[in-house]
Amino acid sequence: MDNKYYILILAVVALIAIIPLAMYSGMGEDEGYFGGADSSAGPVIEETGYQPWFSSIWEPPSGEIESLLFALQAAIGAIIIGYILGYFHGQSSERKKIEKEVKSDLNGSEEN
């Protein structure tokens, strides 16, 4: 795929994330929007009369700390992907350069 298709695909992904924001614009967590699906299962389970028997041994003390840790998680992943794909990219352009030089050398020697 050409690079322009990458941009197109990423734009579609962005759109998928933006559409719900636009659909429920003005709504917030207080109105029951944009909460996590994971935690919305909790009340449904508790309705059956079930009591959780174990709670997390450590919880992020605030939303700030939680977002810090989530950002850290994403950053760890992103830096690894960027480093390795960047390395691959360098390798492949170097390989191309060498191939080109070899080719032009060969052409040159034929002419002589």
Partner 1 sequence: MHIMEGFLPWQWCLLWYIVSLPVVAYGVVQIKKITDEHPESKPLLAVSGAFVFVLSSLKLPSVTGSCSHPTGTGLGAVLFGPAVASVLGAIVLVFQALLLAHGGLTTLGANIFSMGIVGPLVAWLIYKGVQKAGWSPLIGVFLAASLANLMTYVTTAIQLSLAFPVPSFAVAFNNFMWIFAITQIPLAIAEGLLTVVIFDYIMKLRPDILENLKVIGPKIKEKAQAVV
Q: What is the C-alpha separation between 25 and 50, in angstroms, rounded?
A: 35
Interface with partner 1 includes 103 (CB under 8 A)? no
| Beta carbon of residue 112, minimum distance to partner 1 (angstroms, whole number) | 30
The pair of structure tokens assigned to 24 is 């429920």
Q: What is the C-alpha separation between 76 and 89, in angstroms, rounded?
A: 20
Residues that bind partner 1 in the complex, under the rule CB under 8 A: 1-2, 6, 9-10, 12-13, 16-17, 19-21, 23-24, 27, 32-42, 44-45, 47-50, 52-60, 66, 69-71, 73-74, 76-81, 84-85, 87-89, 91-92, 96
